[in-house]
Amino acid sequence: MAQLGVTIGNLQLSNPVLTASGTFGYGEEFSDFIDLDRLGGFIVKGTTLEPRQGNDYPRMVETPSGMLNAVGLQNKGVDYFIENIYPRLIKYSSEIIVNISGSSVDDYYKVAEKLNTLPRINAIEVNISCPNVKTGGMAFGTTTSGAASVTKAVREAFDKTVIVKLSPNVTDITEIARAVENEGADAVSLINTLMGMAIDVERQRPYLSTYTGGLSGAAVRPVAVRMVWQVHKAVNIPIIGLGGIMNGRDALEFILAGATAIEVGTANFINPAATVEIVKYIDDYCRRHNVNDINQLIGII
Amino acid sequence: MLKLTPLDRGISLSDMNIRPGQFVQVKTPDNATFLRRPISICNIDFFSNQLWILVRDAGNGSRAIMNSPVNSKLNIILPLGNGFAVDKSGPSPILIGGGVGVAPLLMLGAELKERGIQPTFLIGARNKEAILLEKELSAYGPVFVSTDDGSYGSIGLVTQNPVLDNNFSSIYCCGPLPMMKAVAKIASAKSLFCEVSLENVMGCGIGACLCCVEKTTEGNLCVCKEGPVFNINKLLWHN
């Protein structure tokens, strides 16, 4: 077996394969299909200070090679996570990363501060790029000042690894990446969903209750690979690449473009075992290409 | 109707504890669609180790599944969802199905009969050609039919069928949303135990993506995991 371990901030991952927030529940939903301990780690559902009911149904529509969603961060809040979900997750040995979101800088600070007390949570992923909530979310991720202010607050509240998840819905993603790097982010993950829209022409109505939603799936992959490649040239912190990774080949595209680790998202819905198949593919790939350490492949394009 | 057998002969469907009202997620052949398609389990033939699914042409995905050649392979995930509460039926349940929604009623009828309970079936469709499974259902109890155009059985909606004037102990229902809402209204008026099977658009099918939610007395619940079967008292349809 090739050396597949990678480092993100202070996180030592046994392999570069993570799961994308919002596509993997709390991990447990997938335990019938895969051994969660074979993942580098898993990133659980977006968590906010207060419980959120999310948006009205319909929240999802399939589109060519992808899907639009407008879930709107439905979750039971950070306190519920700490009391009821965290105790169930600590039996897994792979890293558990919590994705956090808020509608004010203070929200982000408070959620990060609460999670900082949990010994098994060694990293948080800060969502400044959700296109499906009215306040906050993407608003912070589309300006350098907004992204910087959230990163600064979370950096103060959380002693361990801080990953900032970037929005692709910007003119120049590299300037946002540099802004969060300057405020002390340990890593960036990209891309979140691309804002999109689909219309039912027979009924002359949008498919989603919110009209617009976030596009994910294979359709977004070339955009994501391009952005990872651009950001890799612009910052010195590690990049976690995601966006339409359906299999091991796709994962390697991101690694070659500059990603130290990758997240598997929408593919989990179609193949609940996609993650572990990707780990195996990467190992086989390294052997085929006489690579004894995955780190030798990162960003060679 | 597709009749499927596990490729691995060592897998026995009877070991899976499959309940009536549960569903499968089918990967569409030749990637006809991006996501899987959820389909109700119609029946399990334990003797031949066969899973039956009834598929209606409702788009690219279902068409690709329907057109799978004999002896071809399908990638499916099962069993998913909660299923009907069979033990709440009482002595004289009525099982109401509309269109392809009759599918899960076949396995439900079989299970009720096994428990010594004879269900009554009421099935409806646009016209005679669209009435499905009448013969199969009749093995477990009397079958009443309604068609919109009166080409077979009673004319009109299932909720107008005179059989509903009789007394029943419970109602189980699967079909188009307006039909289920009308049936729920009748059940509420008579204070009958009533379960309906919802078919909200699904992503993952295992409660991870939170796309298929229904508003309930307990907040937004995933139809794929907390459902697809819901007691009508849990739904906010009367609002």
A246-275: per-residue pLDDT in tens?
A: 999 999 999 999 999 999 999 999 999 999
pLDDT of residue A153: 97
Rounded mean pLDDT of chain B? 96
With contact defined as beta carbons under 8 Å apart, do A109 and A140 qualify? no
* CA A39 – CA A14 distance, rounded (Å): 8
Contact A60 B209 (CB under 8 A): yes
* CA A122 – CA A124 distance, rounded (Å): 7
* CA A90 – CA A87 distance, rounded (Å): 6
User: Is it true that the peptide bond before A58 is cis, omega within 30 degrees of 0?
Assistant: yes
Region of B99 please: left (phi>0), alpha (psi -120 to 50) or beta: left
Nearest residue in chain B measured CA to CA from A273: B77
pLDDT of residue A132: 66
Q: What is the DSSP letter of B156?
A: S
* CA A43 – CA A89 distance, rounded (Å): 11
pLDDT of residue A1: 79
Domain boundaries, chain B: 2-80, 86-197, 198-239
Helices (H), chain B: 60-66, 103-114, 134-137, 177-189
* CA B236 – CA A255 distance, rounded (Å): 48
* CA B104 – CA B98 distance, rounded (Å): 11
Superfamily holding B2-80: Translation factors (2.40.30.10)
* A115: its two tokens: 């999670």
Q: Would you state the CATH architecture of domain B198-239?
A: Ribbon (2.10)
With contact defined as beta carbons under 8 Å apart, do A122 and A160 qualify? yes
A71-99: per-residue pLDDT in tens?
A: 999 999 999 999 999 999 999 999 999 99
* CA B109 – CA B119 distance, rounded (Å): 6
Q: What are the chain B neighbours of A22 within 8 Å (beta carbons)? A: 209-210
DSSP of A159-178 = -SEEEEEPPS-SS-HHHHHH
CA-based nearest residue to B178, from B237, B119, B223 = B237
CA geometry: angle B2, B30, B106, nearest 5 deg: 20
pLDDT of residue A251: 98
| In the block, residue with structure tokens 């296109």 | A131
Query: B86-197 belongs to which CATH class?
Result: alpha beta
Q: Is A23 on the interface with B (CB under 8 A)?
A: yes
With contact defined as beta carbons under 8 Å apart, do B21 and B81 qualify? yes
A32-63: per-residue pLDDT in tens?
A: 999 999 999 999 999 999 999 999 999 999 99
Q: Which pLDDT band, with edges at 50, 70 and 90, does A137 fall under?
A: low
With contact defined as beta carbons under 8 Å apart, do A275 and A255 qualify? no
Q: Which domains does chain A have, with CATH numbers?
A: 6-297 (3.20.20.70)
Give, for A221, the enclosing helix (H) or strand (E): helix A221-234
Half-sphere exposure in the Cβ direction for A100 (13 Å, CA): 37
CA-based nearest residue to B31, from B71, B74, B1 = B74
Contact A25 B36 (CB under 8 A): no
User: Which of B36, B206, B220 is the closest to A29 by Cβ?
Assistant: B206
B160-191: per-residue pLDDT in tens?
A: 999 999 999 999 999 999 999 999 999 999 99
Share of residues in chain A with pLDDT > 90 (%): 95
* CA A188 – CA A163 distance, rounded (Å): 5
Q: Is A48 on the interface with B (CB under 8 A)?
A: no
* B199: its two tokens: 């078919």
Q: Is the pLDDT of residue B132 over 90?
A: yes
* CA A205 – CA A228 distance, rounded (Å): 35
Q: Which of residues 179-238 of A touch B (CB under 8 A)?
A: 217-218
With contact defined as beta carbons under 8 Å apart, do A235 and A177 qualify? yes
Interface-testing mutation among A53, A56, A60, with chain B (most B C-beta atoms within 10 A): A60
Q: Which pLDDT band, with edges at 50, 70 and 90, does A200 fall under?
A: very high
CA geometry: angle A76, A274, A73, nearest 5 deg: 20
With contact defined as beta carbons under 8 Å apart, do A44 and A97 qualify? yes
Q: What are the chain B neighbours of A66 within 8 Å (beta carbons)? A: 34
Share of residues in chain A with pLDDT > 70 (%): 97
A145-170: per-residue pLDDT in tens?
A: 999 999 999 999 999 999 999 999 99
Q: What are the chain A neighbours of B38 within 8 Å (beta carbons)? A: none
Half-sphere exposure in the Cβ direction for A165 (13 Å, CA): 29
User: Which of B34, B205, B211 is the closest to A69 by Cβ?
Assistant: B211
* A190: its two tokens: 């990209």
* CA A119 – CA A86 distance, rounded (Å): 10
pLDDT of residue B77: 97
Contact B206 A22 (CB under 8 A): no
Cross-strand bridge partners of residue B173: B96, B196
With contact defined as beta carbons under 8 Å apart, do A262 and A18 qualify? yes
The angle that helices A248-257 and A274-288 make with each other, rounded to 10 degrees, is: 60
Contact A269 B213 (CB under 8 A): no
Determine which one of A20, A130, A164, A228 is catalytic: A130
A286 is a catalytic site residue: no
User: Which of B214, B220, B225 is the closest to A74 by Cβ?
Assistant: B220
Give the torsion sign (CA, A149, A155, A158, A162).
Answer: positive
User: Hey, is A123 helix, strand or coil?
Assistant: strand
